Amino acid sequence: MNSYAFLQKFHSGWAYLALLLLVVAVVNAIIGFTSKKEFTAKDRKIALFGLIGAHIQLLVGLILYFVSPLGLNGFNMKDAAARLTSLEHPLINVIALVLITIGWSKHKKAATSELKFKSFAVFYTLGLLLILARIPWHLWF
């Protein structure tokens, strides 16, 4: 198996774990925020795992983008499938990761448990929704 095929399979496979970690982090944040529970080290680790999983996915995706025929080389604005993989998927996912990272940064500055959970609930949810909106589902299944 060549390195491109390995990266492609890793990016597709890791996506399941990254999405699972983000969903768990979002659900945990929403439950913590709505139930007004105390923010603990466990809650911090759950959010951190979501952050790390998403960042690994982005890093592998960016590497894949520059070696893939679907990346820069396949850039075609008239073809919806090519536009999704060449422009929309990478751009929206970078924006999603920026939002998730902002959520992580804001939680560190928050003084209360409620604000910590709120920053994760808002920013991780927005990031997750953007990621889900731009997954090239036709290539994934």
Percent of the chain with pLDDT over 90: 72
| pLDDT for the residue numbered 65 | 86
pLDDT class for 137, splitting at 50, 70, 90?
confident
Q: Answer with the residue of higher pLDDT: 41 or 90.
A: 41
| pLDDT for the residue numbered 76 | 66
State the average pLDDT for the chain.
Answer: 91
Mean pLDDT of 113-131: 98
Contact 75, 121 (CB under 8 A): no
| pLDDT for the residue numbered 77 | 74
Give the tokens for residue 37: 């529970």
Question: In angstroms, rounded to a whole number, what is the distance separating the alpha carbons of residues 102 and 61?
Answer: 20
* 77-97 tens-digit pLDDT: 787 777 787 888 899 999 999
Candidates 12, 15, 106; CA nearest to 54 is 15
pLDDT class for 67, splitting at 50, 70, 90?
confident
